């Protein structure tokens, strides 16, 4: 059977998180090139530190290793792994082919988890930093939106039933508040993430103690030196063969929190889009439906909800993995971690890219919002009408009953006949409310019903968002976000 070169490239499963959605930056952080070049950096850091502490390792050997960090022969490594059935040994030998002088001291005293686990932690830390930068970018875009619409009144909803008015900008700050809390979690994860370090086969550092002839201080110093060379100021005091998989659970829980916030925000946007109050960015030639040509579906928000639902489920896998680690280590953590760690970060990356895209182009339709308010505002205005009539000398209980009767009658008319809300007309014809007849129109200004929403937006942006943006100003100017596939 002959197949074309193009067809042969498409006869394997393609992961949509990489091939369709994720940014180049996050895809690289979880790529083989990043992973295995980091292994080599770890081997170099170990050898450099061992030399400084007195082991017989030459400058020539270190220089040889340093010169070949990124030129990895992946084909040879694949052949070696087929031969050895061991990925770390395959890459040691692959590295040794281009570093023949250093080959005798590569991986000296270490176990596979020295490169495997420490690399995972490096990838996690750098991925968290990338997500943090994008969260800050998202907040900067959302700030513009919330500020622009801080005074635009809109229906609030409780139980998904019309409630007291809020503003479009105030609602946006609710989404932002959740994301700020997620940012705080991710910040803590970055600061507190420990390195596994140099711990040996079962975590006792026995091989390193042997290398340094029983010198405990040198073994401790070796661990410190390697951790700091790899950019970590904290490390686990004790480990088994691996770092505790509790760390994976904590990290994925933080990403799950971000997914929850994204889902809530995009679910709100989808509901608002169905009411035609807001609209996602929509390309000139974009097609919403193959059958219904008129449709403008909130596809970006739907994608966020879909990926967020997946990401929210991943901590359960991490929890089960941690709970099932027997004694110092079992290998049933390996295959699942190869999937859930990169996929969690790739999904979070796609979610943030898409949220930035949505918010940056989210279109608001004030006329539709005003029409929806006009249907409900007469009911909301009754409390103000009641208070003003009482101040003018009216009987509170009598007025309350009259409002109840008129509201029920008007509501029945709206529901049974599909007619407009005539509550205010009924009140205008009822002499019990004569005290407000000449100012009913004034009492229907939506601005009277939004409370401190605009001021709350101003306070929130000044007290919460601006300090975040200021402290990350340098990174904010460097953040790039790949285009969003639709």
- Separation of alpha carbons 455 and 460, rounded Å: 8
Residue pair 33/70 in contact (Cβ under 8 Å)? The answer is yes
Spatial CB neighbours of 191, under 8 Å, sequence gap ≥ 6: none
- Separation of alpha carbons 116 and 123, rounded Å: 11
- Separation of alpha carbons 93 and 80, rounded Å: 8
Rounded to 5 degrees, φ, ψ at 241 are -70, -35
* Active-site residue, selected from the candidate residues 289, 374, 471, 480: 289
Residue pair 278/265 in contact (Cβ under 8 Å)? The answer is no
Residue 433 burial by CB count (10 A; 0-12/13-18/19+): exposed, middle or buried? buried
Residue pair 328/252 in contact (Cβ under 8 Å)? The answer is no
Q: Is 289 known to be catalytic?
A: yes
Q: Which residues on adjacent β-strands are paired with residue 279?
A: 363
- Separation of alpha carbons 482 and 63, rounded Å: 37
Q: Is 85 left (phi over 0), alpha (psi -120 to 50) or beta?
A: left
Q: Is 159 known to be catalytic?
A: yes
Catalytic (active-site) positions? 159, 289
């Amino acid at each position: 059977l002959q197949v074309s070169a193009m067809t042969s490239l498409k006869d394997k499963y393609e992961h949509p998180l990489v091939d369709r959605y994720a940014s180049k930056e996050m895809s690289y952080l979880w790529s083989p090139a990043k992973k295995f070049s980091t292994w080599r950096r770890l081997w170099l850091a170990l050898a450099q530190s061992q030399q400084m502490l007195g082991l017989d390792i030459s400058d020539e050997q270190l220089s040889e290793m340093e010169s070949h960090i990124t030129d990895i022969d992946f084909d040879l490594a694949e052949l070696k792994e087929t031969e050895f059935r061991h990925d770390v040994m395959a890459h040691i030998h692959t590295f040794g082919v281009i570093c023949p002088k250093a080959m005798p001291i590569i991986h000296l005293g270490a176990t596979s988890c020295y490169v495997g686990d420490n690399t995972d932690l490096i990838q996690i830390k750098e991925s968290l930093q990338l997500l943090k930068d994008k969260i800050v970018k998202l907040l900067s875009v959302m700030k513009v939106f919330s500020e622009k619409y801080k005074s635009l009144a809109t229906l609030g909803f409780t139980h998904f039933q019309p409630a007291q008015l809020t503003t479009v900008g105030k609602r946006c700050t609710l989404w932002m508040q959740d994301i700020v809390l997620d940012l705080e979690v991710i910040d803590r994860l970055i600061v507190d993430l420990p390195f596994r370090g140099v711990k040996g086969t079962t975590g006792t550092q026995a091989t390193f103690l042997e290398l340094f002839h029983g010198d405990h201080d040198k073994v401790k110093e070796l661990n410190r030196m390697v951790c700091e060379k790899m950019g970590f100021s904290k490390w686990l005091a004790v480990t088994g063969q691996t770092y505790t998989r509790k760390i994976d659970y904590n990290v994925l829980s933080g990403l799950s929190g971000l997914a929850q916030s994204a889902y809530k925000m995009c679910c709100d946007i989808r509901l608002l889009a169905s009411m035609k109050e807001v609209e996602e960015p929509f390309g000139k030639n974009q097609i919403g439906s193959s059958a219904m040509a008129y449709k403008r579906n909130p596809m970006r928000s739907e994608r966020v909800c879909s990926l967020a639902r997946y990401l929210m489920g991943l901590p359960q896998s991490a929890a089960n993995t941690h709970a099932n680690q027997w004694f110092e280590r079992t290998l049933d953590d390996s295959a699942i971690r190869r999937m859930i760690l990169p996929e969690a970060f790739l999904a979070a990356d796609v979610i943030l890219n898409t949220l930035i895209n949505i918010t940056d182009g989210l279109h608001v339709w004030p006329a539709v919002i005003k029409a929806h308010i006009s249907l409900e505002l007469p009911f909301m205005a009754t409390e103000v009408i009641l208070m003003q009539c009482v101040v003018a000398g009216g009987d509170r209980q009598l007025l309350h009953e009259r409002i109840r009767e008129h509201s029920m009658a008007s509501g029945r008319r709206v529901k049974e006949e599909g007619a407009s809300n005539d509550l205010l007309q009924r009140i205008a014809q009822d002499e019990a409310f004569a005290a407000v007849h000449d100012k009913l129109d004034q009492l229907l200004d939506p601005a009277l019903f939004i409370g401190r929403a605009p001021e709350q937006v101003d306070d929130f942006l000044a007290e919460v968002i601006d300090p975040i943006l200021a402290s990350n100003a340098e990174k904010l100017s460097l953040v790039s976000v790949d285009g969003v596939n639709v």
